[in-house]
Structure 1
């Protein structure tokens, strides 16, 4: 069992805050004009950085003392390549950093499929530094995640800590500055995001794990070695880890991924230590993060699903509008809005049956108290239903189309050349998993979407490969140049093929799909360990 150095890891690597009672997030971006002032700024922030230390016995696996009380607010920090250079890190350390990180996300737009409506010229003004020399570049990212009041508004700590960060930057006399430029009008001083809220049984606003299109999100985050105690890991890996080779058993074939896929200084799936930079102590326990603001055209998605549903009714003979709408939507995503996968419920009738069977795990109004042991076991069983499946049970895409969003994002065992009961997930898949963080946003101008943060040891091998090869190109899924029907651009293709299956006797082609998701900005960040942050603040990074 790997023992992670949790006090040295930043907390946002180890836990998705949205699932731990922090439904509000604020992202602030700073630029550094003076290295000494920048180091003082980092030093001022360092004592408040949230680590990965457990907040209670439940997180620690039920054993040992409670190390920390759960805070009302969290803080984490990351740096772009230009930010590390602005802090005067040694040339040897800078030049050994990965090429894609040095380039930054804006310079790799074509690789990522950020073209046409997603091209950098359409991004929020804060990200225009490489397009317009008059805009100061983003150097430092600071995120605040906070709990909610009963009415769903953020706790007062969010405003207090925001003011503190502004004052800390102001003390530098121009050496560090908070960057404006968020939103279409460029007036925002920061980017807010928040979970969607619905009233609970007592009227208190309850965060929902939904994205703006209405689908349950954040279901299949990878599980890596050392993330949980042994007993908890055995439960968590089902559907979230990797599938081991050999005869498939849904309870024993799932294994945790190697830690080095997500945390530097640990062994990865290639049984190697990921290449980062020198000194090794600077990179160890750090990672890389992709920060992306993704706009979702909610009215456009709903209108297109209604159009496709009308065509679906003509082809299949289904008469119910709601059923047709939900089927077509699920066939694009690979899951129903409840999060139940098509592999578990291929038809609308199957889904309705499972919705009734698991209503107490889906509807907050029916949920029993959190300390009800039997109900917790039910929730765990429902989680396995939503994640514990393999595509070896659907080799022809009759249940879940080959090009569906979740099949592209995590192909599981689909890319195994044999796709049989005696083989597991391929190394190709195991080496391209990412930790997903983030929450939905709703800007003042009405724009909606998600702030997506992808955490991985290699931006090139993991995030960029998924985005370029699996989301923006479909050959691995026998879909030619068809892009992801949910998040892909339509520069080369605008169709999604739904093979014949339980809901349709003949194939159905969802043609002329518009773009539902467009990029509104972002960059690549290094998220250092607490040790590395101390090195940065003290100016003691020594690669010799």
Structure 2
């Protein structure tokens, strides 16, 4: 059955902040975490801000696409400004009904209070926002350059003191240069498997068009599952975690995801985490771990690194190319997401604990390598209710040759992780606790995600792959040192634009 776009919701593009669904255009990003000192001064200032709407972002993206089609590659001015608030920040602004409302327990507690659930380091030692630097909100500023961001600050945010707020922490991100554009500091393509979103704009444009709307009506690009927008913005239908009547429909429309309080309509939770990366130590460890593999399944450092991530540095998935990189499958190619893990149930091509498999297990079935078709469909239906709209960006300088030669990190770098969800508990926290940090997911003995796992011990158990023999008994049991450290974060809420005006 072809895709029925008319059955999909019309999105209120002028009411939704731009970063939630299409994502603000950016080469640079600045997160200004702030404290509200005087709500009386801050509120009229807030209402007067030219916050970037989803419609503005769509118009910007359309202009970029049109210019590229005409061979014009010069960047256009496309400054972005969005805002989100913590529970305390919303309370200061007079939003009522929050305390005790369903679905707000984790948001009210804040990320630091969820340390045990998330296996995070002691918040007393966090470098970024948290108990030592509590924030009421964050301004998300984006642009083609830092100069463009600073211009937005000068025109619209300054002076902070006169408008009732104070900066408590800054986090600056930058997209890495070509040819590693879009790659994180370990060198791997990041954000390749973003979900598509069902829905149209008020003028009838399809938010995520389908490459093959007749044969693959539930996908945008090949392998990009289309999800109902209520997974990411309140006030729209979400995914149904149960199977359709045919027993194989994992894209069934669910109920409208109602906002916990009316103020939250057309908004979403924003999760922020600062993840520091030790790049030269990671590279040295990959070489050491590769030497621990033996026999026919001996892995090179390049292959071992790809097995930790689940993709080659190019973005090519291991499931499709398990022994060598294949640039025809790299990030941006038609088939970079056109796969399922059901083609590798035993984890001999892509390890069960590889980062991309832990964070998005697709059709993996918990504790079963011989599932029925119905179990597979049910597992994927469940997985699609745990997706997140990720908006991460790298921070810090490029690795210096001096650091590479010494094998020691001397400059701070890593990833500013951001994502938008409509359930902190069932999306972000569930993925981190029940999948990423769980040594028995997806299968007993899998190990912990070696990239974003947050262990209590110094090393992570990791069951490797056996791509040459494809013999499950040949998979090596490795102990992977910990090279990504969570250094702070919190839960925020990005309101709808009309909700801000109604404060």
**Which TM-score bucket, shorter chain as reference?**
0.7 to 0.9
Aligned 8 A contact 2:273 2:416 in 1 = yes
Match of 2:255 in 1: 272
1:221 to 177, 187, 194: 194
Q: State whether structure 2 residue 390 is matched by structure 1 residue 436.
A: yes
Match of 1:464 in 2: 429
Q: Cα distance, 1:79 vs. partner?
A: 0.5
Structure-2 residue corresponding to 1:177: 166
Distance 1:301 1:504, change over 3 A: farther
Q: Residue in 1 aligned with 2:17?
A: 10
Shift of 1:71: 4.2
Matched, 1:191 2:167: no
Cα distance change of structure 1 residues 494 and 315 upon mapping to structure 2, 3 Å threshold: farther
State yes or no: 1:38 paired with 2:38. no
**Rounded Cα–Cα distance in structure 2 between residues aligned with 1:503 and 1:31:** 57
Task: Measure how far apart 1:124 and its partner are.
Answer: 1.4
Relative to structure 1, is the Cα distance of residues 78 and 125 closer, same or farther in structure 2, using a 3 angstrom cutoff?
A: closer
Q: Distance in 2 between matches of 1:278 and 1:325?
A: 51
1:86 aligned to which of 84, 87, 92: 92
Partner secondary structure for residue 418 of structure 2: strand
- Distance in 2 (alpha carbons) for counterparts of 1:5 and 1:60: 22
Q: 1:288 to 1:113 in 2, by over 3 A?
A: same
State the match for 2:246 in structure 1.
Answer: none
Counterparts of 1:236 and 1:71 in 2: how far apart (Å)? 33
Structure 1 residues 400, 469: CA separation in 2 closer, same or farther (over 3 Å shift)? same
Q: Which aligned pairs between 1:293-304 and structure 2 lie closer than 5 A?
A: 293-304=274-285
Deviation, 1:514, is 1.2
In 2: Cα distance, 1:476 partner to 1:39 partner = 46
TM-score by length of 1: 0.76
| 8 Å contact from structure 2 (residues 353, 441) kept in 1 | no
- Contact (CA 8 Å) 2:21, 2:232: kept in 1 or not? no
Q: Deviations over 1:2-29 (max 9, x none)?
A: 2111111111012233xx4x21000101
Structure number having the greater helix percentage = 1
Matched, 1:74 2:80: yes
The residue aligned with 1:187 is none
Contact 1:392–1:420 under 8 Å retained in 2? no
Name the counterpart of 2:249.
none
Report runs of 4+ in structure 1 exceeding 6 Å deviation. 59-62, 240-243
- Secondary structure at the aligned position of 1:427 is classed as helix
Please show how residues 52-451 of structure 1 align to structure 2 within 5 Å: 52-53=55-56, 54-55=58-59, 58=62, 71-90=77-96, 92-96=97-101, 98-114=104-120, 118-124=121-127, 126-129=129-132, 137-148=134-145, 154=146, 156-164=147-155, 167-172=158-163, 175-180=164-169, 190-198=170-178, 208-226=181-199, 229=205, 233-235=209-211, 255-270=225-240, 271-279=254-262, 282-312=263-293, 314-316=294-296, 324-348=300-324, 351=325, 354-355=326-327, 357=328, 382=333, 384-415=334-365, 419=371, 423-424=376-377, 425-442=379-396, 446-451=411-416
1:241/1:285 CA distance change after superposition, 3 Å: farther
Give the 3 Å change call, closer, same or farther, for CA 522–428 of structure 1 in structure 2: same
Q: Give the secondary structure class of the aligned counterpart of 1:477.
A: coil
Contact 1:10 1:51 in 2 (8 A): yes
Q: 1:105 to 1:126 in 2, by over 3 A?
A: closer
CA contact 2:297–2:467 (8 Å) conserved in 1: no
- Give 1:430 shift: 1.3
Q: In 1, Cα distance between the equivalents of 2:475 and 2:79? A: 48
CA distance in 2, matches of 1:58, 1:162: 26
Alignment gaps of 5+ in structure 2: 67-74, 241-253, 399-409
CA contact (8 A) 1:195 1:208 kept: yes
2:198–2:208 CA contact under 8 A, matched in 1: no
- Comparing 293-302 and 95-104, the one that deviates more: 95-104
What per-residue deviation string (whole Å, max 9, x for no partner) do you get for residues 439-483 of structure 1?
Answer: 100079711100011111101000000001111113231144832
The number of residue pairs the alignment matches comes to 452
Deviations 1:233-277 (A, max 9, x none): 222999x9978xxxxxx97x9752111111101111132233532
Secondary structure of 1:495's aligned partner: strand
SS at match of 2:158: helix
Deviation, structure 1 residue 487: 1.6
State the 1:59 CA deviation. Answer: 7.9
CA distance 1:436–1:31, shift in 2 (3 Å): same
**Which residue in the other structure is 1:494 paired with?**
460
- CA distance in 2: counterparts of 1:317 and 1:431, whole angstroms: 36
Structure 2 distance, partners of 1:166, 1:510, is: 53
CA root-mean-square deviation: 3.2
Structure 1 residue aligned with 2:407: none
- The Cα shift of 1:401 comes to 1.1
Aligned to 2:500: 533
Deviation at 1:215, TM superposition (A): 0.2
> Gapped runs of 5+ residues in structure 1?
63-68, 130-134, 149-153, 181-189, 199-205, 244-249, 363-378, 537-544
Q: For residue 87 of structure 1, report the CA deviation from its aligned partner.
A: 1.4
Most deviating of 435-444 and 255-264: 435-444
CA distance in 2, matches of 1:224, 1:311: 43
